[in-house]
Chains A and B, each alone.
Chain A
Amino acid sequence: MIRFLLSLTLLLCFCQAKVTAQVWTNSQDSLDTTVLTNPNDLLRTIPEWDAATTDGFTYLVNSGRYGYYGPQPSVYLDGIPIDFSYFNWQNLNMLPASMDHINHVSYSADSRIHNQAVAPAGFLDLHTQPLDPGFNAYGSFTLGNQIEDPGPWSYDTTRVTPNIDRRGPHYFSRFAYSDTNWYAQTQFSLRQHQPTNLNNHHRIGSYSYVDGTWHPVKNIIANGLAEAGYSSSGWDFKTRILYGNNEEYVFFQPFGREIPSLTKYKQLALQGGYQIGNWKFQSRYLGHQKKLDYRVNNKDYDFDWDQLTHSFSLSGSYQRSNTQLQAGTIIERIRTHALEMDNRQTIATFYSEMTSNIAPQHALNAKASVDIATFETAPVLSLGSTHQLTNAWKLSSQLIYEELLYHRQQNSTYWLQRGYDLFDQLSISYDMPLSTEKNKSTSFEVSNIFTLSPSVSLNLSGRYIYHSALNIPWQVVSHDQQQFTGEYTNPQDFYFTSEQGNRFIFRLSASQYIGSLFNHNINASFKHSRSQSRRYRNYWKQVPKATFDYNFKIKPAEDLSFSATAHYQSATTWLEYQNLDGETYRSLQPQYPIKYGTFHIDTPSFFNIDITAKKWFWDRRFVTSFSVRNLLNTEVRYHTLGLDKALQFIIKTSLSF
Chain B
Amino acid sequence: MLRYLSTLITILAVSASLSYGQQDSYRQLSLDVGGATSILENTFSQHWNPSPSLHLGGRINYHLGNLEAGVRYTDYSANDPSYEGRNPAEEVRFTSYFVYIGWEYPFTLSEGLTFAPGLRFGNNFLTFKNTKTYPPDGSFGEYVFDPKESEFTYELLTRLEYSLGDSPWALYSTFSYSRTLTYHPMTVGLLSVGVSYSFSTPGWIKNFLQ
A binding-site residues for B, Cβ under 8 Å: 3-4, 7-8, 10-11, 15, 17, 145, 147-157, 159-161, 163, 166, 209, 214, 484, 514, 517-518, 554-560, 589-594, 617-619, 622, 626, 628, 647, 649, 651
Contact = CB atoms under 8 A, between A and B. Distances in A.
18 contacts: A4-B1, A7-B2, A15-B6, A145-B151, A148-B183, A150-B145, A151-B151, A151-B182, A152-B186, A154-B131, A154-B132, A156-B80, A159-B184, A556-B19, A560-B63, A593-B134, A593-B137, A647-B152
Contacts of B76: 152
A8 B5 contact: yes
Contacts of B138: 484, 589
B128 interface: yes
Contacts of A4: 1
B75 to A, nearest CB: 12
Interface in B99-122: 101, 121
A155 B149 contact: no
Contacts of B184: 151, 153, 159, 161
Nearest to B67: A615
Given A147-B151, A556-B19, A591 B143 contact: yes
Nearest to A4: B1
B186 A518 contact: no
Which secondary structure dominates where chain B touches chain A?
mixed
A589 B183 contact: no
Contacts of B131: 154
A412 B25 CA distance: 60
B207 interface: yes
Nearest to A616: B210
A209 B139 CA distance: 12
Interface string B199-210: 000000001111
Contacts of B85: 155
Contacts of A514: 13
B98 interface: no
Contacts of A592: 134, 136-137, 143
Contacts of A622: 208
B181 interface: yes
A628 B154 CA distance: 11
Contacts of A617: 208-210
Interface-centre pick from B15, B17, B48, B134 (highest chain A CB count, 10 A): B134
Interface-centre pick from A155, A484, A557 (highest chain B CB count, 10 A): A155
B164 interface: no
Contact of B140 (A10, A209, A517, A554): A209
A481 B150 CA distance: 36
Nearest to B121: A626
Q: Which 5 residue pairs spanning A and B have beta carbons closest together?
A: A151-B182, A592-B143, A147-B181, A155-B83, A556-B16
Interface-centre pick from A154, A589, A591 (highest chain B CB count, 10 A): A154
A593 B145 CA distance: 10
Contacts of A647: 152, 181
Interface-centre pick from B101, B131, B146, B152 (highest chain A CB count, 10 A): B152
B144 to A, nearest CB: 9
Contact of B182 (A153, A166, A554, A590): A153
Interface residues of B, number: 55
A165 to B, nearest CB: 9
Contacts of A651: 123
A618 B47 contact: no
Which secondary structure dominates where chain A touches chain B?
mixed
B180 interface: yes
B145 A153 contact: no
B131 to A, nearest CB: 8
A557 B20 CA distance: 6
Given A11-B5, A593-B137, A647-B152, A148 B182 contact: yes
A152 B183 CA distance: 10
A649 B181 CA distance: 11
B40 interface: no
Contacts of A557: 16, 19-20, 25, 63
B172 interface: no
A17 B138 CA distance: 66
A214 B76 CA distance: 33
Interface-centre pick from A7, A8, A647 (highest chain B CB count, 10 A): A7
A152 B126 contact: yes
B151 A149 contact: yes
Interface in B23-50: 25, 47-48
Given A11-B2, A145-B150, A151 B186 contact: yes
Given A592-B137, A647-B152, A148 B12 contact: no
Nearest to B146: A163
B16 A554 contact: yes
B92 interface: yes
Contact of B210 (A7, A156, A559): A559
A151 B208 contact: no
A314 to B, nearest CB: 51
Contacts of A591: 143
A10 B2 contact: yes
B175 interface: no
B208 A149 contact: no
Contacts of A559: 210
A214 B210 CA distance: 48
Contacts of A160: 132, 134
Given A153-B183, A518-B13, A556-B19, 20 more contacts: A7-B5, A11-B2, A11-B6, A147-B152, A148-B183, A151-B184, A152-B47, A152-B94, A152-B182, A153-B184, A163-B146, A166-B150, A214-B140, A556-B63, A590-B140, A592-B134, A592-B137, A618-B210, A619-B207, A622-B208
